[in-house]
Amino acid sequence: MMAHEDCIFCKIIDGDIPSAKVYEDEKVYAFLDISQVTKGHTLVIPKEHTKNIYETSPETARELFSRIPVIANAIRDVYQPLGINLLNNNEAAAEQSVFHLHVHLIPRYGDGDGYYPNWTTHTEDYSSEDLQSVAKAISEQIKQ
């Protein structure tokens, strides 16, 4: 695994920075987020340094995402949250602050639990023709 020398998550994987480890195998490391938005808030990261989802190989993504249900179910079994949010931010504009791919597992305990996702929908701005056009553009790019 190639560690990135100035990456805080690579330093956590290498043991240079302590963490509250939840899970580890040869490809994936999971640990409690130091901020603990809610109890059990866990970060799941590939051991291979990859900046974000754009730069991640399908193989690394498969390894990472295949561990998430196992970890999420363990959180559920231990703390009985009402639900869980999976969150991944890519690039500064999307509020990525550590540039090593990571997925937040944020257990939800009800109103006032500390996590407040907020976005504005623009349903009225898109006709069904607009939606078909957007979908076609993305689909055609995938086929290239």
The per-residue pLDDT for range 61-118, each reduced to its tens digit, is 999 999 999 999 999 999 999 999 999 999 999 999 999 999 999 999 999 999 998 8
**Percent of the chain residues topping a pLDDT of 70:** 98
Residue 1 has pLDDT above 60, yes or no: no
**Does residue 122 carry a catalytic annotation?**
no
CATH number at residue 87: 3.30.428.10
Asked whether residue 59 is assigned to any structural domain, the reply reads: yes
What confidence score (pLDDT) does residue 15 get?
A: 96
What is the distance between the alpha carbons of residues 34 and 40, in angstroms, rounded to a whole number?
10
Asked whether residue 138 is assigned to any structural domain, the reply reads: no
Parallel, antiparallel, or unpaired: how do β-strands 28-32 and 103-108 relate? Answer: unpaired
Averaged pLDDT for residues 107-136: 91
What is the domain extent for residue 15?
Answer: 8-118
- From the candidates 41, 49, 100, 102, give the one annotated as an active-site residue: 102
